[in-house]
Amino acid sequence: MCINACGFLCNLVISYAQQVFDKIPSLDQGLNFSSMALIHRPCALSISTISSQHQQRNHTSFSSLISKTFVPCTIKCVIVDPEKIFVRRSANYQPPVWDHNYIQSLNSEYSGGSYVEQTNKLKGEVKMMLNKVVDHVEQLELIDTLQRLGLSYHFEEDIKRIVDTMYHNIQNNKQSKREMNLYATSLEFRILRQRGYNLNQEVFRSFVQDDSGNFMAFLRDDIKGMLHLYEASFLMVGGETILEDAKDFASKHLEEYVKNKNRDQDHVLYELVSHALELPLHWRMLRLEARWFIDVYGKTRGMNPTLLKFAKLDFNIVQAEHQKDVRLASRWWRSTGVGETLSFARDRLMENFLWSVGMAFEPHFGYYRRMETRLHALLTALDDVYDVYGSLDELELFTDAIQRWKVNVIEELPDYMRIPFFTLYNAMNEVAFNVLKEKGFHVVPCLKKALADLFRCYLSEAKWFYSGYTPTLEEYMKESWISVVAPTMLVHTCLITNPLSNDILKNLAKYPDILRYSSMIVRLADDLGTSPDEIKRGDNPKSIQCYMHETGASEEEARQHIRHLISETWKKINAEKLADSDFSPIFIDIAINLARTAQIVYLYGDGHASQDNQTRDLMKSLFIDPIS
């Protein structure tokens, strides 16, 4: 009531003061009561009233017209420069569709032991298939099917043994002399490259006309072969002109097929081609692809019922594990109070969990998924502090607090920043403690540097916004590949999933190429999907706008340029997969999976923030609805 009374008195003071000063013509006409800031606090300071001594108007200053009287409820009227008034923005994010209570209600019958027994039996049958098949093409087809159904993680040792033998035979010219058709050659090339074997692009030379360098025209009638040639071409590295030509050739004729084909004639092939043209297999999120392909495989002629049954059952069992993970993550998020403290920010726990599943869906990565979801949820909310809510002074304080990384700095932060800082501090120290306990390495400096770099970039972009500066594309990318959060997530990932050494930690602090390239894909895919919404909110220009501003290009031309940059960056990622590395294959695959997840999340727009029907359907298919 005291505060309400103060507000009422403030209005009276303003009204009376305006009446008095209207009668004082010699007073500075620049005085503007609309810019008067009212500060009313219960039981504090003093109330300013207007003296009636206006008879001295010709030489009276504003301050001499004020007389002070002490009262229990204080009002202070202060003249403020309108240009210095800070108005907090809002992105008007909607509340989460998947709230805490709903997430806690997620439960699956497939978490029971009886289903695990069925899975083990089916797993044994499939293992026998792998060991019995001897035909080269049949081996390739079985491996490809297991990968696309999301089952290959059960058989990594068996698959590695088979693929090792294939590659050894190719390198030593021991492969069967029978002619490999376009389909088999493309399938072999893709599977070996996906698994890090540097099979030479020259395997496609036999399909190229010697005189022109173009692919043979009759191949366009082999739609199945063309589809697999198209998919194989996305495993290219820089300078592989045969594969560049293959992609153009296959894309052209597959697009003609989709345009002209009656889908009733071969519905499954039509569906596979349309799916590939939308986004190639190599760029797709593994778990979502498995969910889609299980349905398609069930409609395929010659499908193996054992594989289909195993795929459905395994998907549902893994989904039950994911439900457990997200329930635990949601309990933690709810306990921190960050969502309530930063009520203006995106509260998107399920969407953040999607990223962790996209990076590593396998059941044994449960701890990693929970920790990654924590970090992503915190950084998503803090990103909104920098993008739309905080003043520049507040953001500089928070950035300095991250760089100092001491708990007592919270005393210097605004109230709304204290809980988020303390939560981030505790969450990262918990991860560091577990790494120290399990691996024997002190990783706080590594985490601290990653966070300091991230928030430094957040601050740089905030300064661009407040100054109205539009950077060049090069300037923008220098900061934004870090501000997209991906490097911080991957440093965190490496500390949890990768064997550690002093050399690994030193290399990680410099951001190795696989980390940089994956982060670049996340940034560019993000900009393609979110740019329209963010510009409407008045956010900083993104890569598209920076390129348009710098070159005078149209928006469509700028988008084409960003798509080209994505394609070129994927070539670099492919080269990293084939190169020797100090980092484990597991970490490299997770880094690549992060790029794949970004391609899906931002394929139709801002799948991370918008909560549109496509995003909801995606979430339901992965985390809520079992496969019947």
What is the three-state SS of 591-604?
A: HHHHHHHHHHHCCC
Q: What percent of the chain has pLDDT over 70?
A: 82
CATH (residue range 133-233+235-279): 1.50.10.130
pLDDT, tens digit, 9 for 90 and up, residues 344-357: 989 999 999 999 99
pLDDT, the chain, mean: 87
Higher pLDDT, 306 or 609: 306
Q: How confident is the model at residue 94 (pLDDT cuts 50, 70, 90)?
A: confident
pLDDT for position 86: 66
Exposure class string for 110-143: b at 16+ Cβ within 10 A, else e: beeeebeebbeebbeebeebbeebeebeebbbbb
Mention the CATH class of domain 100-106+310-624. Answer: mainly alpha
Reading the block at residue 290, the tokens are 């498995």
Domain boundaries, the chain: 2-84, 100-106+310-624, 133-233+235-279
- CA 126 – CA 124 distance, rounded (Å): 5
Residue 60: is its pLDDT beyond 50?
no
CA angle 89, 554, 573 (to 5 degrees): 80
pLDDT for position 488: 98
Residue 535: is its pLDDT beyond 70?
no
Q: How confident is the model at residue 490 (pLDDT cuts 50, 70, 90)?
A: very high
Reading the block at residue 416, the tokens are 């709304």
* Residues 103-120, mean pLDDT to the nearest whole number: 91
CA angle 538, 476, 471 (to 5 degrees): 70
Q: How confident is the model at residue 72 (pLDDT cuts 50, 70, 90)?
A: very low
The 3-state secondary structure of 134-188, one letter per residue:
CCHHHHHHHHHHHHHCCCHHHHHHHHHHHHHHHHHHHHCCCCCCCCCCHHHHHHH
* Residues 104-125, mean pLDDT to the nearest whole number: 92
Residue 174: is its pLDDT beyond 70?
no
- CA 156 – CA 162 distance, rounded (Å): 10
Residue 3: is its pLDDT beyond 70?
no
pLDDT for position 538: 64
Residue 24: is its pLDDT beyond 70?
no
pLDDT, tens digit, 9 for 90 and up, residues 246-304: 999 999 999 999 998 766 678 999 999 999 999 999 999 999 999 999 999 999 999 99
User: What pTM does this model have?
Assistant: 0.85
Residue 172: is its pLDDT beyond 80?
yes
Facing residues of 77 across strands?
Answer: 38
Reading the block at residue 331, the tokens are 């309990």
* Residues 548-562, mean pLDDT to the nearest whole number: 97
pLDDT, tens digit, 9 for 90 and up, residues 537-553: 667 899 999 999 999 99
Count of alpha carbons within 13 Å of 590, Cβ hemisphere only? 28
Reading the block at residue 49, the tokens are 């009233």
